[in-house]
Amino acid sequence: MCGIVGAVAERNVQGILLEGLKRLEYRGYDSAGMAVLDLQGHLQRGRALGKVAALEERLTREPLPGRCGIAHTRWATHGRPSEQNAHPHQSGERLAVVHNGIIENHEALRRELEAEGYVFTSETDTEVIAHLLERESRQAGDLLAAVRRVLDRLDGAYALGVIHAEEPDVVIGARKGSPLIVGVGIDEAFVASDPLALLQVTDRFIYLQEGDAVRLSAGGRIEVFDATGLPVEREIQVFEHGDGAASKGDYRHFMLKEIHEQPMVIAAALEGRLGERSALVESFGPEAEALFRQASQVHIVACGTSYHAGMVARYWLERYAGIPVQVEVASEYRYRQVVVPEGTLFVTLSQSGETADTLAALRFARERGYLASLAICNVPGSSLVRESDLTLMTQAGPEIGVASTKAFTTQLTALMLLTLALGRVKGLDERVQADLVTALRGLPGLVARVLELDPEIEALSMAFAEKHHALFLGRGALFPIALEGALKLKEISYIHAEAYPAGELKHGPLALVDSEMPVISVAPNDELLDKLKSNLQEVRARGGELFVFADEGVGLEEADGIRVIHLPHVHEALAPILYTLPLQLLSYHVAVLKGTDVDQPRNLAKSVTVE
């Protein structure tokens, strides 16, 4: 993970780099640093332990003016969070490097460099890059050539930014396995881990491809070279979402803002993809219809919250498209001897499109004879999107809060579109299709109504602030929603939470239930309702305190030990989307009560680009 930003301009770049780091902080926030070449061409560096704000404070005392520089916000992999381990790393006083990713052969390289007399000052894998560069730049003709020679020695994943006093108006960037984009300015040029970091200076970007390197130089000159070292033209794309996403507006946290954006972004995810009575299969690309006809199985692979979306899709696809589905976390899938039946569609789900395990799973799958790969993703131009045969963008807009909210519900919306598209080519009853289309059209309005329950949910959250554990229950397609609810609570409030299919309660977790164990359940009006009600009785009988989010028509009323919040009635199939919202709000308010860092919870990062 980690976030990188670099700039070459005719003006002082300190402010640009700092703002870039603040916007990249979601990628890691245990230390930050910046290096610039000052107006005399001398390398100057500032680093600080902790968030970007700590670096900012330091820069107020000790500014780093310069027209060419690189900066970094870190999520520790090799070596604990400390100023010593913070990037940029140097070798001598003339060059500095920022790095995102992992250098797998760093130990061997470190031994080699130490034997040559290089002295290491950090525990990071990155420092080998700095010393290799020092060595190679004495022999190579220029900085780019030196970087190339270094890249040849590196195994693993990286995105790099490099500056050298020898070429005081040049930043070199390179990527393999980790994202890096180029920001195209007017007479100035930038690199960063994602476009958000640079929206304050440009909306035009080049998405570097695997193995690309780039030289930014004075006057906004940008030269891209492919993995073989040849100059290449890469298309400039205009970023469409505007800069609003980078600010919290009137909301206290990005997470709350993003929760409240859900009616709008779900509508955006549906826009142009629904016909009168069925989904438009072409939304998945011109070849989708032919491929979907051949699809007899689906394998879904993802991580974290995206994996939970995949679990919901299994219920939908089996029920409405009649297709067998397997869902697996990417870090397991990629190391299995997967057996791929003929006609299997491979689907990845990812907010960022850069999650290392998901990307590796896609690359692994490409060798396994799948029918085709489909990426359902939120970031246009991301690696996953570029490397998949078919894509469907979730249209959630940039998500900044580390805990995923709107990205999840738009993934579910996209997966319902996939269900309808596959259902359509597989002959799903036309009335069922039309009903689902009508229900989907009404979904943004229902989501907005659920958001109006916020004050009630906030009041409920008080019951959790002092708790150490919580149990989430759901059945059918609501079981993954229980898992997602538990994950949200864990991620941002640090309360230990587990989720079970409600029917599994009696096989173990019931032993945990007592008055100290709040049990949260989601109870839409579906065919499993009566069974769920019996499971809830099992909890009540053991003195457990129940919190139930229930359909207004299911006849579940408040009673001693049972708190009920009613949700508007929704088509059974869409309940997983609607019932996600109260669980997001509940976690949010519990975290606020506990005073945790809601948008940047400890030890986590939004985009996990390391294995």
Return the SS3 of 231: strand
Find where tokens 């790099």 sit: 160
- CA dist 87 and 67 (Å) reads 19
C-beta of 402 vs 585, nearer to ligand G6P: 402
Provide the minimum distance between the beta carbon of 143 and ligand G6P in the complex, in angstroms, as a whole number: 33
The answer to whether the CB of 546 falls within 8 A of the CB of 540 is yes
Instruction: Rank residues 106 and 488 by Cβ distance to ligand G6P and give the closer one.
Output: 488
Q: How far apart are CA 451 and CA 60, in angstroms?
A: 41
By beta-carbon proximity to ligand G6P, the closer residue of 202 and 352 is 352
- Which residues, other chains included, contact 127 with Cβ-Cβ below 8 Å and sequence gap of 6+? 89, 91, 110, 120, 121
d(CA 257, CA 116): 53
Contact 601, 28 (CB under 8 A): no
For the bound state, the minimum distance from the C-beta of residue 379 to ligand G6P, rounded and expressed in Å, comes to: 8
User: Catalytic: 606?
Assistant: yes
Angle at 190 between CA 391 and CA 164, to 5 degrees: 130
Number of neighbouring beta carbons within 10 Å of residue 199? 23
CB of 355 vs ligand G6P, minimal distance in Å: 3
Residue 307 or 320: which CB sits closer to ligand G6P? Answer: 307
Nearer to ligand G6P, 106 or 257 (CB): 257
Which of 2, 68, 303, 377 is flagged as catalytic?
2
Amino acid identity, position 599:
D
Kindly give the interhelix angle for 127-137 and 106-115, rounded to the nearest 10 degrees: 50
The least distance separating ligand G6P from the CB of residue 304, rounded to whole angstroms, comes to 3
Q: In 80-111, which positions are buried (b, 16+ CB within 10 angstroms) versus exposed (e)?
A: ebbbbbbbbbbbeebbbbbbbbbbeebeebbe
| Closest distance of CB 90 from ligand G6P, Å | 31
What minimum distance in Å lies between the beta carbon of 122 and ligand G6P?
26
Class of residue 525 by CB neighbours under 10 A (exposed 0-12, middle 13-18, buried 19+): middle
Torsion angle of C-alpha atoms 318, 321, 325, 327, degrees rounded to 10:
-90
Please say which residue, 159 or 565, places its beta carbon nearer to ligand G6P: 159
Distance CA 441, CA 24 (A): 35
- Tally Cβ neighbours within 10 Å of residue 434: 14
In the bound complex, what is the minimum distance in angstroms from residue 338's beta carbon to ligand G6P?
19
Closest residue to ligand G6P, based on beta-carbon distance: 304
User: Tell me, what DSSP letter sits at residue 317?
Assistant: I
Provide the binding-site residues for ligand G6P, judged by CB under 6 A: 303-306, 350-352, 355, 358, 402, 404, 604, 606-608
Question: How far from chain centre, in Å, is Cα 346?
Answer: 20
Nearer to ligand G6P, 178 or 352 (CB): 352
Residue type, position 258, single letter: E
Q: Any idea of the CA torsion for 528, 529, 534, 540, to the nearest 10 degrees?
A: 130
Of the two residues 113 and 303, which places its CB atom closer to ligand G6P in the complex?
Answer: 303
Q: Which of 22, 176, 488, 606 is catalytic?
A: 606
Q: How far is the CB of 185 from ligand G6P (least distance, A)?
A: 27
Q: Shortest gap between Cβ of 26 and ligand G6P (angstroms)?
A: 9
Q: What are φ and ψ of residue 155, in 5° steps?
A: -105, 145
User: Using CA atoms, how far apart are residues 302 and 422, in angstroms rounded to an integer?
Assistant: 20
Neighbours of 514 (CB within 10 A): 10
Residue placing its CB nearer to ligand G6P in the complex, 168 or 576: 576
Residue numbers annotated as active site: 2, 606
